[in-house]
Amino acid sequence: MTTSQTATTAPVSLAPKGAPGRFGSLGPVGLVLAGGISVQFGGALAVTLMPRAGALGVVALRLLVAAVVLLVLCRPRLRGHSRTDWGTVIVFGVTMAAMNGLFYQALARIPLGPAVTLEVLGPLALSVLASRRAVNLVWAGLALAGVFLLGGGGFADLDMVGVAFALGAGAMWSAYIVFSARTGRRFPQADGLALAMVVGALLFLPLGIAESGARLTDPVTLGLGAAVALLSSVLPYTLELLALRRLPASTFAVLMSLEPAVAATAGFLVLDQSLSALELLAIGLVVAASMGAVRTQVGRGKAGV
């Protein structure tokens, strides 16, 4: 995932404290879309890095570099937080680490498009469970149809261990969305995200060192790992965290149905994976579902004015 998965997050800030409120009615949606594009192209780049550093090594580099960058940019305040605040950010960090670890294990076994297609089932399930409006069930159902169509109508030819990892990443993605939103409400700007990233990096660094060892210190590997961290963690997680302050979890989860379409495009451009007519139709379905979710949210906002 992807992706995924969204939190909230000091003197040099990623966004002014009141920035989310100044976005237009489609501002949060634009943030989600920009984050999705970034994370999927980062995922495609990560696939090319795996032969050099291994799946666990790539995750360790991604989380470590992202944690350092966010700490430097945000300089989060450590004092003045309650025990509940710290508990939330720790769970968020654990969830983020698990989501990334499971997804990259899936990428090591199955192609990017099917991996993201399976992973996005988690946010879609969250959309159905969290939604309080019947129309959101329609958008979720349409997106789900597109997701399965993008997978060719079935996944029997895929490595089942890879499928299990992707489904596990989807479950963690759902938890990521929930705890990202909670973290965003408890910490200003991207402070919570920075702290959660440190938690995830500390958890995964021993695993990455155990798998890849000295390969992680290779300059080319470090450079590519830094690029993956910026594209797949720093930029998208920050944008999603800000977006979740304005979007309900159900609408955000439906928007995540765009991820397989973006992943297929990234696979085509970066990994030379072609798109079939069936895949293009599936992309149309998930785009339509996402547009419907956006229109529903915008209409709801206008009605409340």
> Alpha-carbon distance 15 to 254, whole Å?
25
Amino acid letter, 185:
R
Structural domain for 231, as ranges: 31-303
> Alpha-carbon distance 122 to 128, whole Å?
10
Determine contact, residues 89/192, Cβ cutoff 8 Å: yes
Amino acid letter, 156:
A
In a domain, 23, yes or no: no
Would you tell me how many other CB atoms lie within 10 Å of the CB of residue 112? 24
In a domain, 160, yes or no: yes
For residue 97, what pLDDT is reported? Answer: 92
> Alpha-carbon distance 21 to 87, whole Å?
27
Among residues of the chain, what percentage have pLDDT more than 70?
73
The pTM assigned to this predicted structure is 0.72
Determine contact, residues 14/73, Cβ cutoff 8 Å: yes
Sequence-distant (≥ 6) Cβ neighbours of residue 189 within 8 angstroms: 8, 9, 10, 13, 14, 15, 17, 74
In a domain, 202, yes or no: yes
Sequence-distant (≥ 6) Cβ neighbours of residue 279 within 8 angstroms: 113, 149, 150, 264
In a domain, 237, yes or no: yes
Mean pLDDT, range 300-304, rounded to an integer = 48
Is the pLDDT score of 303 beyond 50? Answer: no
Check residue 77 and give left, alpha or beta (phi > 0: left; psi -120 to 50: alpha).
beta
Query: What is the residue whose two structure tokens read 């547009």?
Result: 291
Six-digit token pair at 240? 């999603």
Sign of the C-alpha dihedral computed for residues 255, 256, 257 and 259 taken in this order: positive
Rg (CA), the chain: 18
Return mean pLDDT, the chain.
76
Half-sphere exposure of 215 (CA within 13 A, CB side): 19
Over residues 130-162, the pLDDT tens digits come to 666 677 778 777 777 777 776 666 566 678 898
Residue 284: pLDDT band with limits 50, 70, 90 = confident
Is the pLDDT score of 193 beyond 80? Answer: yes
- CA 275 from centroid of its chain's CA atoms: 23
In a domain, 195, yes or no: yes
For residue 19, what pLDDT is reported? Answer: 39
For residue 243, what pLDDT is reported? Answer: 78
Amino acid letter, 72:
V
In a domain, 19, yes or no: no
In a domain, 41, yes or no: yes
> Alpha-carbon distance 127 to 145, whole Å?
14
Q: In the chain, how many domains are there?
A: 1
Which of these, 183, 270, 284, 185, lies nearest to 231 by C-alpha position?
A: 270
Among residues of the chain, what percentage have pLDDT more than 90?
15
In a domain, 232, yes or no: yes
